Chains A and B, each alone.
Chain A
Amino acid sequence: MEWGGVVGYGLFLLIYGGIYAISALGLNVQWGYTGLFNIGVGGFFLVGAYTSAIMTKGPDFSHLGGFGQPFIVGVLAGGVLAALLALLIGIPTLRLRGDYLAIATIGIAETLRLIVTNEQWLTAGVWGIGGIPKPLFSTFGSAYNAFYAVLVLAAMVLVYFAIERGIRSPWGRVLKAIREDEAVAQAVGKDVFRFKLQALVLGAFFMGVAGALFAHFVGYISPEAFEPMNATFLVWVMLIVGGSGNSKGAILGAFIVWVIWSGTEFVAAALPPALGPRAHALRIVLIGLLLMVMLLVRPQGVLGEERQVSKLLRQESGSRQASAGG
């Protein structure tokens, strides 16, 4: 590969890795910290992508549109709508056993895919929505991908710090308490349902933002882009590989798994075309096996969960150590 190719691939890695990392950070709030099963990540991602595309485009008779809002409004609207959807799913399911949430999130993701495929007036169906505006495209021209990489990474860092702040607060400690033992959290007087709902909604917001960033980068979205494999399962593998319950792990996992995923695409592309569809199936089998091996051999992920104790407790144990030493 020549030098330009390497730079081009590097930028794609930063952009896609960054978008997936934002999704994985959202899933980490839900699953990593609170223990909520969301197997419909793709559904929230889809809502973010379509919402932002429809909000920002000029008039187009093939689907709902003509709002012509700025990029930032579209992205935020994508996040907010995904969050509202999470609220709707969370209310009937979060009081029940965890499995019900898992089933309901799969259900909503599949139903959303049916809706965007069949409601032509809204999303142009299988034709998809093209010509999604790329922010500041004319300003950056040929260096556009570099600009977008910076934009995505900035968003990722912002999300990272927002989550870290929340998770190190009393609010974050309640989430972890719920994950470890719901009954205990309930017994000390925490409204478990409300905290779970907040975690679900917050995570979904980030997934919606990730979907919107994806839509504005590729410029064209259709129902095919939101197959459960790409939009949901990959994110799960990323979080498990990186280390659930660790925001740095979510980011690391996103980049590692994306490199593996895109790397196998190069190998598949080099094979004779007759083997193409088979190679695609094999790539997914490989990712599935990666997950199974990870669960069996190193369930805590590459990084594992960070031990977080209260600042006061750390001082206390520090002084105790000092006194033991003296």
Chain B
Amino acid sequence: MKPTALVLTGDGINCGEETSFALQLSGFDATLTHTSDLLNNPKLLKSAKLLALPGGFSFGDEIASGKVLAIKLEAALKDSLKEFVSEGKLLIGICNGFQCLVQMGLLPESEKDDTRLASLARNGGRKFINRWVQLSVDANVPCPWLEGLTDFDLPIRHGEGRLSPAKDSQEAVKKQAPLRYSIDINGSFDRISGLTNAKGNVFGLMPHPEAFVRWTQHPSWTRLSALPDKSPPGLRIFQNAHAMVAN
């Protein structure tokens, strides 16, 4: 039986469908789940192996990106989510979903409960950026989501992706950063583009893995004389997730 993945949608989340598609390609049984349905019935989490908070503009990104969605989820789901994570189930936040995880204090993980260590602030250039970036994996930070990946390309599409840790949390944050931009693209602390918890079951990143699940998504695919047979890196991330829950 395929493992179940819930993909949150509604309230201005935009990337639900392609995230769900990527999970399906990777072997999950993915269901788009409206925030209202999940809030009214947190038990839906019980049968799921993975919860994805996709990219988008939840609540129009007003006040701060991901903030109001975080307030909404915290108000009704805080305990259920904690239980979900502590059971070792998989939680991924992509772009706006990552912003939401950071707002909720789930990433970066803090030793003291409920203490936020960092924010995702407005890009250094003060502009929204849509472009493909090269990413590099830090092998010293274990992250099963990135298994088998070293350097690869993904697109970013955000206006608030500059990771800004509190001064005394910088080292703690670095220890949770398996993924970096190869160049400074938005002023993010230590070029960090993704974070994971110690257990490795929670992963948040600003780039969009669901936007590189076929080779014809890459900006220079037209140079290839033939399309490669292997999975593109974005798809690999979801396939790694599948491997984690299938074992």
Whether both chains belong to one complex is answered with no
| B residues adjacent to A (C-beta < 8 A) | none
| A residues adjacent to B (C-beta < 8 A) | none
